[in-house]
Structure 1
Amino acid sequence: MSELGTLLKVTREKKGYTLDELQETTKIQKRYLEAIEAGRYDRLPGPFYARAFIRSVADVLGLDPDLLLKQYGHELPKIVEMQDTPVRLRRHERFSKPDLFGPWVARALLVLFFLLIVTIIYVFVVRQSSPSLPLTDLPGTPEVKDHLTGATGDGGSDGGGVVGSGPGSAEGGPNAPFGTDMPGEPTDRGSGEAPRDTNAPLSPDETAPHPELKLVEEVGKTSRYVLSGVSTFQAELEAQGGDVWVKVTADSKNGPTLLEKTLKGGDTVALSAGEAKTLYFSFGRTRNARLHFSGLTLDLSDKPDVYRVEVSLATEPSSL
């Protein structure tokens, strides 16, 4: 048995996992888990799968996969890189480009082009030969007069002058243009509401900061978020649609463990984070997990089975 396999087996037994439970969480077949613990990496599908399986198992058991692979990498089979060798075809093996368009297609396109030219010429000649009548010569066309220089009111002039100030004029009469204020009419046509005093102080609801959860980066199987608008964590974990294994530490990956258990489907657990500024979540069967922070929900249904989430408080809560 290899040192790496012994370490994984001892850690699994210490955590209280059976091989069947580890198989359900990591989705790795039980025979492959047994081969890893026995150091029989030749029974795995290949060198790449050996490293991938060890990473998944280490994540569930709370171990650092990068540190394990660096320390015990000499026990794992090496990955052989394949070099692509160009294949040259002999002359008689070279493929000839098929003729997609036969001669009949070229003839058809030529005929269509000729018909298009004839149609354009015909339309141009017909339009040039058709007489066009001026607008004033059409029967039934009313005479249009200038409404400023030709129209007259009771007090206006009769031809070409400025409009008068009588009942038919533009100022104060019934025919005044739309939008002209009538004498004695209030100029405020608003909704009747008093305008808001812009110097009045804002209410507490308008000045209070609102919680905001922002994604900073997503690298591999880890997402990092920043929670602003709050000074302490108010977090809840929820299992929807199935069981979820979760481990929560404070301030660092190896910091104090706040929670480590398997939530059954439908369970909800509230976290007491104290004065912690960063929470580290490690999940198994992540798709069933939901995180809630101060009324905000983080849905992880599209994440891999083994996944990590880091949430840090903003240094200064932002106010909207």
Structure 2
Amino acid sequence: MTGLGDRLKEARTKKGYSLDDLQSITKIQKRYLSGIENEDYSMMPGSFYVRAFIKQYSEAVGLDADEMLALYKESSKNSLVEEDSTQIVPPMTRRSGLKNNPRLNETIPKIIVALFIIVIIVVAWVLWQQSSSSNKSMKDVETEPALTMDNNQPSKGLPVEPEEDTNVDDEETQPDSEPDEEVKKQVLTFENSSGEDSFYSLTEAEEFKLRIVIAGETWIAVTDENKKERTEKATVYNAGDTMDINVSDVEFVRIRVGRTYNTEIYVNEEKLEYSSDKTTQNIIIKYEK
């Protein structure tokens, strides 16, 4: 025990917050808050979320988040392994069964030679078929009589009737075509980034709808300019989850993404391309109506 949980609990008590109050403020489930105070992280979804929850807890009760995270790091450096570390796969060992089977070793070269001969026969047959078809086509073209009839030549001995003028003034026959109605196409533009924050603007759009598709475990929270939560709740989502949110009434939204590589964001069916390769990002989209 490093005293991290006691300090957080003491600061919460001084603020006059209960765990239920802190749950409403931070949107972190009460059982996770209790686990942090007891320094029991066994029920947490991963070390990434432990750090995120400690930071939010500290800020909510007025403590230095960096100092609290340093205490957590000190307590966990010998026991926790980074969840995203590369797994070392032991090299595969080849079985020596083929080397110990002389009959199979004698049969394999014969099979290869037989397959090679079959391939040559098939290729030769295909080429012969193509050549025969080509020769037959050429003969048909050579034997076809090249007789043509000029329909414009008058028959001998018959009077020629004047042709009727079938041309009609295009201006009289063609109605005035109405100009096509201009169709607006939305423009989703990356503006700039600062730390974990990436700023975008949405213009030329009649509506503002978000679709968030989850491919693996990640934390999602969507808030508007009034810090109002626009999702059912800010929490951990799992693979297969999707969220459809209509935010046409806002000036901007802030999407907190725990793991960008497990999260796809679509703005009016247009996929948003992350401007940064950071795992955790805040996507801020300004809607210019």
Q: Specify the TM-score bucket, using the shorter chain as the normaliser.
A: 0.3 to 0.5
Greater per-residue helix proportion: 2
